[in-house]
A and B are shown apart, each in its own frame.
Chain A
Amino acid sequence: MTHPMIQFDKVLKAYGALQVLKDLDFSVDKGEVVSIIGPSGSGKTTVLRVLMTLEGIQGGTMYVDGEPLNKMNVDGQLVDASKAHIRRIRSKIGMVFQNFNLFPHMTALENCNESPIFTQGKSKAEATEESMRLLDTVGLADKANHYPSQLSGGQQQRVAIARTLAMHPEILLFDEPTSALDPEMVGEVLEVIRNLAESGNYTMLLVTHQMGFAREVSDRVCFFDGGFMVEQGQPNDLFGNPQNERLKQFLSKVLEAG
């Protein structure tokens, strides 16, 4: 039996009366790289945040690798998930944030080691070896003992990616990973993300304003507006031949802005 890696089943997310996701149905296959684009307030970041369980949802069910995330199966009934269940399912998901969210009082290496040692129970030597290898793949092995404040924005974001990879997630969520960066640092971070996408090892969900990049690395692009997924398709179709009126407007605006 095959199932999607990520599945949203009628997911409702609301802040009071404001509905941010309206009965969202959405799924991502294993190994698929999906970009989410849309104007601010469209709910695109919320998709990542509820999947990472940073925020609760008011209705519907999310599935990860075929298992419910916010619910669990008890005697054939879906009931609200326990903390332990959420932690078990959540271990398959890693997230890279817009503002990096590195731990400022830890070095780059300590940031990467934290979860493998204390959440996954690896020995310090084992975790360090792996973290150093990951820092090397993002080009920062020489910065392992630097604190975040001693690194540039681009370097911090690359450490944050290494830290996320150290947990061995199957799903990678990127929440506008280059939006907080100075323009000259965007490239180095996109390069790392591109390599991850091309490796085929991860199911990736990317919220971005970098339209060119989304077009280049994605298997599929989804356009969100007003809490709905309005249109989705292969990058060339969606960017080259948009159907929805609001998508056309959105694309003309962002492409104009460059």
Chain B
Amino acid sequence: MDWDWDFTFETVLPRMWEAAGVTIWATVISFLLALVGGLILMLLKTHRSPWVSRPATEVIEFIRATPLLVQIFFLFFLLPEIGITLPPLTTGILAIGIYNSALCAEVYRAGFQAVPKGQWEACIALNMSTYRTYRDVIIPQSLPPIVPALGNYLVAIFKETPLLSFVAVAEIMQISKLIGAEYYRFTEAVTIAGIFFLVMSLVAAFLIRIVENYVKRSILH
């Protein structure tokens, strides 16, 4: 195995640099989608009316039971069939966001259920609205268990983004494959992609721990 430093600095890194931006962008937007989508799915799933909760439960099960790659292909090839043509990156972000919404819904549900029943009852006795109950009482108290779990999904989503290379999104894995194919040299590009994921995962884990500690300190006195 030989390593070409000139090739690494002059050809690989500049192109990878741009691709890294795409990967981070895809991760952040997918994660935000999953955070909001997961909360919505959870609220639908725990809705009092079975006409709402049953379909939501089925949708969550369906999403969880099929591989993400299949869902990415599904959206990529089937959305145009029904007249919706989106750029590959948008389709990919949508797929990852939806897939992780279903997973995050369970995190929220577990977190909310961990709030003692007496807290819900106090909200009823104080005649609080559903909105205020969640916003002021339930969500703040469920954050300490929810935040670390959601942080894990942030890292998981980050590591799922290479799947977008299957639909030719110019993220870091796709670019390293392209560089390899162009120059018949895979060593540098693939290694740098790996190091990039390693470093970013460690940074993300570090940041999550800071947020986690902050939440614990500000909520549990």
In the A-B complex, the 9 residue pairs with the closest CB atoms: A101-B122, A101-B118, A115-B126, A95-B125, A147-B221, A105-B219, A118-B132, A91-B127, A105-B140
| A114 in contact with B128 (CB, 8 Å) | yes
Which residues 18-39 of A have a CB within 8 angstroms of B? none
**Can you sample 16 A-B contacts with CB below 8 Å?**
A52-B124, A54-B125, A94-B125, A97-B118, A103-B141, A104-B221, A105-B221, A114-B128, A115-B127, A118-B128, A118-B132, A119-B127, A119-B128, A119-B132, A163-B126, A164-B125
How many A residues touch B, CB cutoff 8 Å?
26
Whether, in the assembled complex, A3 has its beta carbon less than 8 Å from a beta carbon of chain B, the answer is no
Shortest C-beta distance, A204 to chain B (Å), equals 15
Which residues 141-173 of A have a CB within 8 angstroms of B? 147, 149-150, 163-164, 167
Which residues 79-117 of A have a CB within 8 angstroms of B? 87, 90-91, 93-95, 97, 99, 101-105, 114-115
Q: Which residues of A contact B119 (CB under 8 A)?
A: 101, 103
Main secondary structure of the interface of B (DSSP, over half): helix
Whether, in the assembled complex, B137 has its beta carbon less than 8 Å from a beta carbon of chain A, the answer is yes
Q: Give me the interface of B with A, judged by CB distance under 8 Å.
A: 116, 118-119, 121-122, 124-129, 132, 136-137, 140-141, 219-221
A90 to B127, CA, bound (A): 7
A164 to B122, CA, bound (A): 10
Whether, in the assembled complex, A234 has its beta carbon less than 8 Å from a beta carbon of chain B, the answer is no
Contact partner, B221, options A52, A95, A149, A164, Cβ 8 Å: A149
Contact partner, B124, options A53, A105, A114, A167, Cβ 8 Å: A53
Shortest C-beta distance, A207 to chain B (Å), equals 14
| A115 in contact with B121 (CB, 8 Å) | no
Q: Which residues of B contact A97 (CB under 8 A)?
A: 118, 121-122, 125
Q: Which residues of B contact A91 (CB under 8 A)?
A: 127
Shortest C-beta distance, B169 to chain A (Å), equals 42
Q: Which residues of B contact A115 (CB under 8 A)?
A: 126-128
Shortest C-beta distance, A150 to chain B (Å), equals 7
Shortest C-beta distance, B122 to chain A (Å), equals 4
| A54 in contact with B124 (CB, 8 Å) | yes
Shortest C-beta distance, B145 to chain A (Å), equals 14
